[in-house]
Amino acid sequence: MQKLVYVPPNSNEQVILTAAEPIILSSVAGLGGVESDVISSEVVGMDGVFYHGCKKTPRPIPCTVYVKGKNREDMYRQRLKIIGLLRAENDVGTLYYSNDYISVKIGAVPITPPDFVERIKNYNKADLKFWCPQPLWQSLETKTASIAKISGIGFEMPFSFPVTFSHIRNEIVINNLGTARAPVTITITGTGVNPEITNTTNGKTISLLDKTLSNGEQLIINTERGYKSVKLKNNRTETDGFQYINPLSDFWEFEVGENKIVYSSEDNAEATSIVITYNERFEGV
């Protein structure tokens, strides 16, 4: 059974669209893969073009629903309620989708509010459309894995499965079960000199330059495209920390499948931990 739940931004209310009354989900589209815009360039006199890649377009999700009331008055009351909740705001809401196999979420805006076009007794039919600026679905669960440089241990708990461990200290293998690359948030805590975190699966490294974290300091690195950030956190204060990142660093993401992550530092410090959090991403469901 398919189910959609829309939560408006900054709201505790929600709209549930499923096979049950009062709002019956009749049809939904736009859940699978999305179209891509081709990035290319051309040279005068050249046949064809140079292909530079593709950029995914925003995801539209059109739906058809039926509002069912106990009587005519209740039908119009239910109708009024969902029109109010399914309205476009300046912020993005959250759309949850589930079927018999998977549950995921995505940022969404109801750009076409319920347009009631047909009524049969106490049933009122409506078409509506969600617009998702970021086209990839995300897992509901935020997964966590840790690497710790602690004498005689090498790893820090807790961690989330599916995770397998390598036999070499300060290495971890994380299995990204999504169908797309997954950005990560890396939190560095400890006193290591110029710590370095490498994803050996894609050969990319994030490292600090001329920076030793003090006791109580954390450096939080977000690698999501369009939202990349580096924050230095000390107790309750948080400041920009981009200046501490080596300019040669790559803000890597998890590849699909297994990713081998390696931690090192110049002074071989034994009191530094690396915590990696991520949500799996899906091209479609």
- pLDDT per position as a tens digit, 117-163: 888 888 899 999 999 999 999 999 999 998 865 444 444 444 455 55
- Identify whether residues 156 and 254 lie together within a single domain: yes
- Identify whether residues 74 and 155 lie together within a single domain: no
Residue 256's pLDDT is: 96
- Identify whether residues 106 and 207 lie together within a single domain: no
How many distinct structural domains can be found in the chain?
2
The pLDDT confidence band at residue 16, using thresholds 50, 70 and 90, is very high
Residue 194 sits in a domain whose CATH number is 2.60.120.880
- Identify whether residues 118 and 152 lie together within a single domain: no
Which is more confident, 153 or 281?
A: 281
Domain boundary (81, 103, 135) is at 135
DSSP string, the chain: --EEEEE-TT-S--EEEBSSSSEEEEEE---S---EEEEEE--TT-SS-EEEEEEEPPEEEEEEEEEE-SSHHHHHHHHHHHHHHS---SS-EEEEEE-SS-EEEEEEEEEEEEEEEEEETTEEEEEEEEEESS-SEEESSPEEEEEEE-TTT---S---SSEE--SSTTEEEEEE-SSB-B--EEEEES--BS-EEEETTTTEEEEBSS-BPPTTEEEEEE--TT--EEEEEETTEEEE-GGGB-TT-----BPSEEEEEEEE-TT--SSEEEEEEE--EES--
Residue 163's pLDDT is: 53
pLDDT at 115 > cutoff 80: yes
- Identify whether residues 148 and 261 lie together within a single domain: yes
Residue with tokens 């009191």: 271
- Identify whether residues 113 and 204 lie together within a single domain: no
The pLDDT confidence band at residue 194, using thresholds 50, 70 and 90, is confident
Residue 157's pLDDT is: 44
What whole-number distance in Å separates Cα of residue 281 and Cα of residue 257? 12
Domain boundary (90, 118, 135) is at 135
The pLDDT confidence band at residue 211, using thresholds 50, 70 and 90, is confident
Q: pLDDT tens across 77-96, in order?
A: 988 999 999 988 889 999 99
Q: pLDDT tens across 25-84, in order?
A: 999 999 998 888 899 998 888 888 999 888 889 999 999 999 998 998 999 998 899 999
User: Lowest-confidence range among 39-48, 171-180, 219-228, 259-268?
Assistant: 259-268
- Identify whether residues 164 and 210 lie together within a single domain: yes
Residue 16 sits in a domain whose CATH number is 2.40.30.200
- Identify whether residues 20 and 111 lie together within a single domain: yes
Residue 234's pLDDT is: 86
What whole-number distance in Å separates Cα of residue 281 and Cα of residue 104? 9
Q: pLDDT tens across 237-277, in order?
A: 889 999 999 999 999 999 999 999 998 877 655 567 889 99
pLDDT at 203 > cutoff 70: yes
The pLDDT confidence band at residue 20, using thresholds 50, 70 and 90, is confident
Residue 150's pLDDT is: 45
- Identify whether residues 149 and 86 lie together within a single domain: no
Residue 45's pLDDT is: 84
Q: 141, 169, 143: which is closest to 155 by C-alpha?
A: 169
- Identify whether residues 123 and 160 lie together within a single domain: no
Which is more confident, 152 or 221?
A: 221
Residue 168's pLDDT is: 35
pTM for the full model?
A: 0.84
Domain boundary (135, 167, 186) is at 135
- Identify whether residues 272 and 251 lie together within a single domain: yes
Residue 237's pLDDT is: 87
Q: What residue numbers bound the domain in which 149 lies?
A: 143-282
pLDDT at 17 > cutoff 90: yes
Q: 221, 193, 220, 198: which is closest to 209 by C-alpha?
A: 193
CB 147 within 8 A of CB 156: yes
Instruction: Work out the percent of the chain whose per-residue pLDDT is above 90.
Output: 55
Residue 155's pLDDT is: 43
pLDDT at 166 > cutoff 50: no
- Identify whether residues 160 and 38 lie together within a single domain: no
